[in-house]
Structure 1
Amino acid sequence: MLDLLRSRPPRTSLQAPLYTDPDMFALDIDGIFATQWLFATTDAEIPDPGDYVTVEFGTLSLIIVRGDDGTVRALHNVCRHRGARVMTDRRGSTARLTCAYHSWTYNTDGTLLHASSPGETFDRTCFSLRTAHVRSICGLIFVCIAADPPTDIDDLEEAVTPYLAGFDIASAKVATQIDLLEEGNWKLTMENNRECYHCGGHPELACSLFATWGLTADTVPPELAADWDRSLLADAALQERCDRHGLPWKIIEHLTDRDAGFRISREALDKTGESFSVTGDRLSQKLLGDLPDFRLGRTSLHVQPNAWFHGLSDHVITFAAYPVSADRTLVRTTWLVAEDAVAGEDYDVDELTYVWRHTNAQDADFVQLAQQGISSPGYVPGPYMRSEDQVEAFISWYTAHMSSHLDGHLDGHREGRAQA
């Protein structure tokens, strides 16, 4: 696997086993999802003490819970008795975390409260649920189970806060959430998200997202020339509006040169330019946070390795990819609206989700097609186009981190053999 990673030519997709082999999937969990900061949920999903969600990355399961003191914690969803899963629901609210197997009961801070067994005495303070690191950045909750998590998440927070603070995501309300199981490797899910070369297959999204996204002046095909010119005018108008309101809009991109790789920007939308709708009009009548204007385009944030976000003036959409197996990935999409927005009055859930429900379903089909093709003996890695620069950036980030991880793994193996 290390040889396959090292031998990848630049701007070329990976060899088939890196997408299809169950052993490689296990290595991905160990080398990426057990070492990096991962997007897990939002503060809006656990607003009150006792609120929790569970998230899974392969075999890794965490409980993200807000304690009685208001602190958000990440606890390994593994009972300290004999390892049973503690919380089995995807979300809920509870005063205590109780394992159904033998009723070991924990406080929301992970401390063991109750382990009923007549005649047994042991130090309960030694058997709290294991914890993971947690970081809330403008209402987006990231977790890391590594003993020493990457520190450059500080740089990410500093860079994205001016873009995200105005949305006040932490105080937003969950309008709805949809889980979609894609029949493909998690890397294919992320690759698909990182380009718009395939966006001709997204007619609903194309109503508001410019079809030229990801292109440059010298790569725009003749049939998209008018769209390109219109996008330039829209971007210029958006930049003027942002400058007037004191809002940042320039691209900040560090997708390959750090652990917490990211890209953030504010970009114009087509039509009326307010939201992801068929007409471009707003989908909720309430502005988020302290945003001053409905026509602020979309704030687009990508974070390695598993998340992307769209911030509109009327709602925010979060997307998280949770790897399930070598050929399955759960994509969780959450729509957030202003705290005082009322369903049926200020927004309609079906209208709010229309574009991305269809777009996500189309993407799931594309990912499945890619997995099926890559699983064939006829597959040979192909080239990334210039409009797929962010795909190349993601795969470059991935190969660098996995190569380093496997190098360390092999060095430890060699050292162990030498000592033996």
Structure 2
Amino acid sequence: MLDKTSQLQRLVHGRLAGHSLDAPFYTSPEIFEADMDAIFSRHWIYVGVEPDVPEPGDVMTVEIGKSSVLIVRDDDNAVKAFHNVCRHRGARLIDDEKTTVGNLVCRYHSWTYNLDGNLVHAPHMGPDFDASCKGLKPVNLRSLEGLLFICLAENPPEDFDDLAARMGPYIAPHKVRETKIAYQSDLIEMGNWKLTIENNRECYHCEANHPELTVPLFAYGFGFAPEELDPIDLENAQRYDALRQTSHAEWESMGLPSREIEELDTRVTGFRTERLPLDGNGESHTMDTRAACRLPLGAFTNAKLGGLSFWTQPNSWHHFLGDHIVTFSALPLDAGRTLVRTKWLVNKDAVEGVDYDLANLIEVWTATNAQDSALVGMCQRGAMNPAYEPGPYSPNTEMLVEKFQRWYIGRMTAHLEQGAN
């Protein structure tokens, strides 16, 4: 174990700023296990939305590494989280990703828990058995205006309240709790989770690889090199920047916070947000750039509300439109595979085929996810090549990738220092 720790320390401390990571960060099973311990077992992880469990008795299971977690809506309509482990002999309580129950019953020996996690029935345990100390083990859970985050650590990072206070006003108008999940896609990318996040944190690759996504999105919104643009492109970029500023002022006059907050590498629970204009008709992430759903979210009456982007370290990104929401979570499976889970949310009263066409709703991001998956797999194969060495990031278009790497290396450093004390 000492040798593995020493190798990790050497790699962490030797990371070259402004460059991709050394190959073992993407390929080593030992570093993957360290990631699961230092990052995914100790930080706030985005796992879903309150509409995943819309009614009392609804249950969702989430797998994070070796841990399985139950997300449950109880009889008082509160959402809670528990470890998916019976307190008798450790059997898994729920195997399905989603189900509805009256109580949580272990099918092995019928130990039964209510929706608050209390043990209410344990047959043949004798008169001296104390059921009060055998309830399900709770998991820390926070809802950010309907976005669900869990932390497996006993003492989670304390900065979530600040994140919620700053992000709440941005997300609240979209009324996540008043939506339903129109569609969910689970895609396994053949790459390390850090490659999935790196790919998400830049649009350097967008123009060449995402013909659908660049219909509604302005590429200028994610960085560019002005000295490399011809006069026409430079004029368009300057026009976009002016549109961004005037749009921010207009949206904020409507009560929609829009300006950038960037805390990706300055805090334990790193995050970033900004509302950006959309191209074309400017209404939604669709191929015709018009709203995909006839019923807007919340109380919106103006369809041209741009796209609110929200990213969290280490594993999520989200797009909030006037008519629908798209949320993404990256859940590591092993050193070379990552589950990317995408959910499309619409107004809870919207009817498929009447208020929205599902194919139109999911077209842009279904195509983009498949393209990104191929790119991540390509990078994973490259990292496994003996010729691989860390390459330099573009200071104009990959600055947010560098912020992710600084956050990651900072968190691994803190973990190593804590272990040494």
Q: Shorter-normalised TM-score: what interval?
A: over 0.9
Does the alignment pair 1:385 with 2:394?
yes
Does the alignment pair 1:78 with 2:85?
yes
Distance (whole Å) between structure 1 residues aligned to residue 105 and residue 329 of structure 2: 27
| Gap change, CA 1:220 and 1:93, over 3 Å in 2 | farther
Contact 1:220 1:228 in 2 (8 A): no
Q: 2:413 aligns with which of 377, 395, 403?
A: 403
User: Deviations 1:308-336 (Å, cap 9, x if unpaired)?
Assistant: 10000000111011111111111110011
Does the alignment pair 1:375 with 2:376?
no
How much does 1:218 deviate?
A: 3.0
Contact 2:192 2:380 in 1 (8 A): yes
Contact 1:231 1:270 in 2 (8 A): no
Distance (whole Å) between structure 2 residues aligned to residue 262 and residue 220 of structure 1: 30
How much does 1:230 deviate?
A: 4.6
Distance (whole Å) between structure 2 residues aligned to residue 226 and residue 367 of structure 1: 33
Matching residue of 1:145: 152
How much does 1:47 deviate?
A: 1.4
Matching residue of 2:373: 364
Contact 2:277 2:305 in 1 (8 A): yes
Matching residue of 2:181: 174
Does the alignment pair 1:32 with 2:42?
no
Deviates more, 1:397-406 or 1:213-222: 213-222
Does the alignment pair 1:337 with 2:346?
yes
Q: 1:87 aligns with which of 84, 94, 98?
A: 94
Matching residue of 1:7: 14
Matching residue of 1:210: 218
Does the alignment pair 1:122 with 2:120?
no
Distance (whole Å) between structure 1 residues aligned to residue 139 and residue 109 of structure 2: 24
Contact 2:68 2:84 in 1 (8 A): yes
Matching residue of 2:4: none
Misfit runs of 4+, over 4 Å: 118-121
Distance (whole Å) between structure 2 residues aligned to residue 23 and residue 82 of structure 1: 29
How much does 1:128 deviate?
A: 1.1
Distance (whole Å) between structure 1 residues aligned to residue 228 and residue 324 of structure 2: 30
Matching residue of 1:265: 274
Distance (whole Å) between structure 1 residues aligned to residue 105 and residue 13 of structure 2: 46
| Gap change, CA 1:168 and 1:219, over 3 Å in 2 | farther
Contact 2:59 2:98 in 1 (8 A): yes
Distance (whole Å) between structure 1 residues aligned to residue 23 and residue 90 of structure 2: 34
Secondary structure at the aligned position of 2:398 is classed as helix
| Gap change, CA 1:149 and 1:118, over 3 Å in 2 | closer
Matching residue of 2:3: none
Deviates more, 1:190-199 or 1:95-104: 95-104
How much does 1:380 deviate?
A: 0.6
Distance (whole Å) between structure 2 residues aligned to residue 364 and residue 339 of structure 1: 30
Backbone CA RMSD of aligned residues: 1.6
User: Deviations 1:86-116 (Å, cap 9, x if unpaired)?
Assistant: 1111111111112233332211111112223
Distance (whole Å) between structure 2 residues aligned to residue 321 and residue 216 of structure 1: 26
Name the aligned partner's letter for residue 304 of structure 1. Q
Gaps of 5+ in 2: 1-7
> What is the number of residues matched between the two proteins?
411
State how 1:90-101 maps to structure 2 within 5 Å: 90-101=97-108
Matching residue of 2:324: 315
How much does 1:49 deviate?
A: 0.5
Q: What is the TM-score with the length of structure 2 in the denominator?
A: 0.94
Q: What is the TM-score with the length of structure 1 in the denominator?
A: 0.94
Gaps of 5+ in 1: 412-420
Matching residue of 2:229: 221
State how 1:156-175 maps to structure 2 within 5 Å: 156-175=163-182
Distance (whole Å) between structure 2 residues aligned to residue 36 and residue 290 of structure 1: 34
Name the aligned partner's letter for residue 258 of structure 2. W
Distance (whole Å) between structure 2 residues aligned to residue 226 and residue 307 of structure 1: 33
How much does 1:226 deviate?
A: 5.5
Distance (whole Å) between structure 2 residues aligned to residue 124 and residue 163 of structure 1: 44
| Identity across matched positions, percent | 45
Deviates more, 1:209-218 or 1:38-47: 209-218
